Each structure stands twice: as C-alpha cells, then as structure tokens.
Amino acid sequence: MIKTDQFKWAFIVNPVAGNGSPLMAEIEILKQIEQRKLSAKIVRTQQHGHASQLAKELAMQGFKYIVAVGGDGTLNEMASALIDYPECILGLIPAGTGNDFAQIPGLSVKFEQKDWEIFFEANSHALDVGRCNGNYFFNGMGLGFDAQVASENYDASGKLKESNRGNYIWHILKNLLFFKAQKMMLTINGEKKERAYFLNTIAIGRRFAGDFFLTPKAIADDGLLDVCVVDKLNLLQRLVILLKVPKGKHLSHPKVDYHQTEKLIIELDQKAAYHLDGELFFDKYFEIDILPGKINFIYNPYRNHYFSEK
C-alpha cells in the first residue's frame, strides 16, 4: 500500500451526533483549514460503524492526524480502528451529548478561536486504553445502573435514539427509583467478592454523563483501571450518593468500594447490558484489562487534563 503525505489532517464528522452540532463544527473546521492553508480532508459518517471504516481507510492513505467530530461513541469507533496504527495521532472536536472523553485531554466542549489555535499546535500524549472482551474503551465502561441508563438511549432495534441532556437526567432519575441490583462475582487484585451490585464503573477517565465524577482518582496514563463499585442501595442511599458524585465525594460512603488494578473479571448468572463509552453491549462474563500508553491523542497543555506529563 503506497502512502502519501499530501494530506496530513483528516476529520471524521458524525452528522447525527449531538443533535447536529458536528455540522456546525464542520463549518468552522473548513474556515480553520482555509486560514491555515492546511491540506486536509473532511468525511462524514453515514451509519453506525462507518467511523471505524473511514478511520482505517484514512490511516492507510497516510493521514497523520485523524480527528473525530462528534461524541464519545464516534471517538470510540474511530479510535478502536486505529489501535494498530501507532503512526497516527488522534484528535477530538467535542460535538456530542455528553462529551465525557474531552476532559481527559483538557479540551473545551465549546471551541473558541484560542481553542483552535491550541488544537492545531497538535501537542500529543500517549494514553491508556481499556479493553473488555476484546472491545476497547477510552473513557470508561459501566455495568449495572450506569449501563441501564445507557441502554435506554437505544430503541428496540438497537439503534441509538436522538438524545439530549434532559433525556440523560430523566433516565438517571427514573433508574434511581426503579433499578434492581444484580448479583455479580467480582475478581479483582486476587480477591473474589460476590454481592448484589448497584453499579460498576471501570474507567480511564473521571467523568460520565457530563457531571458525574464516578472515578475521581483516575489518571489516564498510569497503566491502571480505576474501578468504582457500589453495593445494593435503598432509595435514600441512592439519593445521598447521587448528590456526592458530581464532586467526587462519594468514595467515603460505606457502600462504595474503590480499586485500582490492571485487570478484573466480572461474572453474572445471565446476560446484562453494559456500555463502553456509551456504546451498548450484552454479556454475562467480562474480562477487562488495560493497554498502557496504547494510543496518542492531541491534548491541551494549558488546561487541566487527567494524565501526568512524564
């Protein structure tokens, strides 16, 4: 395969993410390309899974910087396809609903001119990648309450519904009232624990659903998964923990266990929903591990970012 350096930048736009926000971002990207006289290419996804195909094609064509324009799901598709292309540097223009991954590399969720200036400096850093049953995640995965909330963003055919911030909050509140904890066997750091768990979050990043810092100690390049496990809760306990999570103050609650590990196994009696960066799957056995420093991302060195600059 002949590679070319003619085009250095490529942008993969998901036009249906974030209620159309990527299309607005695309207009600004075109302006930025023209201002900087970049040789660049913009492509749009046409269906679920297309971002993965496009990312591979762009990598084989020799693009060095490949940028997702969309939400966490678009980024996950694209980045998963580029795990085996270490010469590529990934970027993100946050234009989804939650934009949780953006906090890891310190990206603004609303780009202003200064943000574009910093973005095109193309400072990059190697970040860890999580893996569950062979599939990758770049911010985090959830099983239990977290996954049930994610599953309600899909219709009966498995297609992602149009969503917004209000829908996220509604699903969270509804499941606070009605979600039933499921019995699980957790094997972590050489110890087995069997209980009815309300929530399991396994993460590279710290933030989920915009405002919920479930894994507030996470560092995205330390070679460790951060695991927040919450036991079965009554309604009052659920409300108490919910109020603590936005500031990451829930770790002291007696129903919360927090771990850092390189790998873990979760076993259920029957299949249940789980999500990887918001993308929905079903299984009953989960083998989860971390790939340290596996992929390079563009980051903002002038804002808070959740990794160490080694």
Mean pLDDT of 120-148: 95
- CB proximity list for 114: less than 8 A, separation 6 or greater: none
Tens digits of per-residue pLDDT, 225-263? 999 999 999 999 999 998 999 999 999 999 999 999 999
Tens digits of per-residue pLDDT, 112-121? 999 999 999 9
Residue with more model confidence, 290 or 156? 290
> Element (H or E) spanning 165, and its range?
helix 165-178
Residue with more model confidence, 5 or 285? 285
Alpha carbon separation from 307 to 59, 90, 197, 217, 253 (Å, rounded): 26, 16, 29, 11, 26
Cross-strand bridge partners of residue 154 = 160
Say yes or no to pLDDT of 4 above 50.
no
What per-residue confidence (pLDDT) applies to 185? 96
What per-residue confidence (pLDDT) applies to 136? 98
Tens digits of per-residue pLDDT, 258-272? 999 999 999 999 999
Say yes or no to pLDDT of 63 above 80.
yes
Say yes or no to pLDDT of 83 above 90.
yes
Residue with more model confidence, 302 or 18? 302
DSSP state of 58: H
pLDDT band at 166 (very low <50, low <70, confident <90, very high): low
Q: Which domains does the chain have, with CATH numbers?
A: 9-122 (3.40.50.10330), 135-291 (2.60.200.40)
pLDDT band at 2 (very low <50, low <70, confident <90, very high): very low
What per-residue confidence (pLDDT) applies to 54? 97
Question: What is the C-alpha to C-alpha distance for residues 99 and 123, in angstroms, rounded to an integer?
Answer: 20
Mean pLDDT of 60-70: 95
Average pLDDT, the chain: 90
Mean pLDDT of 1-13: 68
What per-residue confidence (pLDDT) applies to 3? 41
pLDDT band at 309 (very low <50, low <70, confident <90, very high): low
Tens digits of per-residue pLDDT, 25-60? 999 999 999 999 998 999 999 998 999 999 999 999
Question: What is the C-alpha to C-alpha distance for residues 289 and 183, in angstroms, rounded to an integer?
Answer: 22
Residue 130, judged by CB atoms within 10 A of its CB (0-12, 13-18, 19+), counts as buried
pLDDT band at 165 (very low <50, low <70, confident <90, very high): low
What per-residue confidence (pLDDT) applies to 168? 67
